[in-house]
């Protein structure tokens, strides 16, 4: 079987907007098909489509007048009662953060996850709802990642920005790129329909910043108002032929059938921590894990991750 079609538990959890434990529960109860490679559970797109068709739980596109993407109840319980416990909440959607949380729990830190996008992640850190935010937000004015947004969204808050990885962003297009989509200007073509990420996602910010640079309005682009909340979901939409193009990470394109990737920009994916928390045992443990050979070895053989600067402080604000 082609490895591109092999979806992990994390992939399916991201696509269905549920927790990893929720996917394991579905496997245990026979609610979703799967197969095993050794001791590891893997899924095909057919397994996911069959589950969606039977359960009616397909992620629904959202229009311009839909409520904002930030929804605490949907993504994680960030209530004061929950945060009053011993939980250390890491905010973000990448697999690398799931594995980081697992390592921290093995080191005695009750690390929890909040699966929300970059913009809302920083806002949550500002309001003290999470312990660590993650971001991959490009600023066209400075051609820099994350630091301008940290300064704008956490005014007066001293922060440390720590790199996790670099990833390639680009276009998901149909196999063979039959419509020859190569640049942002192609989004305004009448024969091109896109599917979008939610407001505040790093890929959405990259899109909007570049549309501004080429003097394009979203209202002029077919499909701009159709939103979904994961890279895997928008890539799958392109693979099914429901859309011609979407913006996302290279790693996901390798996992979805009938999708090719047009690389555009290498992005920096960082963690943001309040300076006053940098010497706490939880943060110290997290940084020690990020910089450890054992943790980094988890990603050396996984395509799509450049961990050259992992654990390195790239800025202080």
What pLDDT was estimated at residue 163? 96
Question: What pLDDT band is residue 146 in, cutting at 50, 70 and 90?
Answer: very high
3-class DSSP state of 229: coil
> Are the folds of 72-165+268-316 and 168-266 the same?
yes
3-55 CATH, one of 1.10.1660, 2.60.40, 3.30.750, 1.10.10? 1.10.1660
pLDDT digits (tens, 9 = 90+) for 26-80: 887 777 888 777 677 888 877 887 777 666 544 444 343 433 333 333 333 344 4
* Alpha helix ranges (H) inside the chain: 9-16, 20-29, 45-55, 72-75, 80-83, 95-106, 118-126, 147-153, 202-213, 231-240, 250-253, 281-290, 293-297
pLDDT range class, residue 82, cuts 50, 70, 90: very low
Kindly state the average pLDDT of the residues 124-132.
Answer: 93
72-165+268-316 homologous superfamily? Periplasmic binding protein-like II (3.40.190.10)
Residue 55 has a pLDDT of: 62
Q: Mean pLDDT, to the nearest integer, of 235-246?
A: 92
Residue 155: pLDDT above 50? yes
pLDDT of 161-219, one tens digit each?
Answer: 999 999 999 999 999 999 999 999 999 999 999 999 989 898 999 999 999 999 999 99
pLDDT value of position 119? 93
3-state secondary structure (DSSP) of residue 165:
strand
Task: Spell out the domain ranges in the chain.
Answer: 3-55, 72-165+268-316, 168-266
The least confident of 103-107, 203-207, 229-233, 286-290 is 229-233
168-266 carries CATH number 3.40.190.10: yes
Q: What's the residue count for the chain?
A: 317
Helix ranges, 190-304 (H): 202-213, 231-240, 250-253, 281-290, 293-297
d(CA 313, CA 270): 9
User: pTM of the prediction?
Assistant: 0.71
Give 292-310 pLDDT, tens digit per residue: 999 888 887 777 788 999 9
Phi, psi dihedral angles at 202 (to 5 degrees): -60, -40
């Amino acid at each position: 079987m082609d490895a591109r079609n092999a979806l992990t538990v994390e992939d399916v959890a991201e696509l269905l907007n549920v927790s990893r434990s929720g996917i394991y529960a579905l496997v245990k109860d026979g609610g979703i098909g799967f197969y095993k490679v050794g001791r590891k559970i893997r899924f095909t797109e057919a397994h996911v489509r069959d589950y969606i068709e039977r359960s009616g739980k397909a992620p629904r596109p959202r229009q311009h007048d839909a409520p904002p993407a930030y929804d605490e109840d949907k993504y994680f319980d960030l209530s004061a009662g929950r945060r009053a416990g011993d939980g250390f909440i890491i905010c973000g959607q990448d697999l690398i953060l799931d594995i980081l949380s697992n390592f921290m729990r093995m080191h005695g830190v009750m690390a929890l996850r909040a699966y929300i996008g970059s913009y809302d992640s920083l806002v949550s850190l500002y309001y003290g709802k999470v312990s660590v935010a993650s971001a991959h937000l490009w600023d066209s004015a400075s051609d820099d990642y994350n630091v301008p947004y940290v300064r704008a969204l956490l005014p007066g808050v001293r922060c440390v920005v720590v790199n996790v990885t670099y990833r390639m962003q680009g276009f998901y297009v149909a196999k063979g790129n039959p419509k020859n989509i190569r640049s942002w200007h192609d989004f305004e073509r009448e024969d091109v329909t896109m599917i979008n990420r939610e407001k505040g996602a790093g890929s959405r910010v990259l899109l909007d910043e570049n549309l501004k640079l080429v003097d394009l309005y979203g209202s002029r682009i077919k499909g701009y108002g159709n939103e979904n909340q994961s890279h895997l979901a928008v890539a799958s939409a392109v693979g099914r032929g429901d859309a011609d193009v979407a913006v996302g990470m290279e790693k996901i394109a390798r996992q979805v059938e009938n999708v090719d990737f047009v690389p555009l920009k290498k992005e920096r994916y960082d963690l943001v921590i309040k300076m006053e928390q940098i010497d706490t045992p939880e943060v110290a443990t997290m940084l020690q894990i990020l910089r450890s050979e054992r943790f980094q070895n988890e990603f050396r053989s996984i395509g799509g991750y450049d961990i050259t600067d992992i654990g390195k402080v790239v800025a202080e604000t």
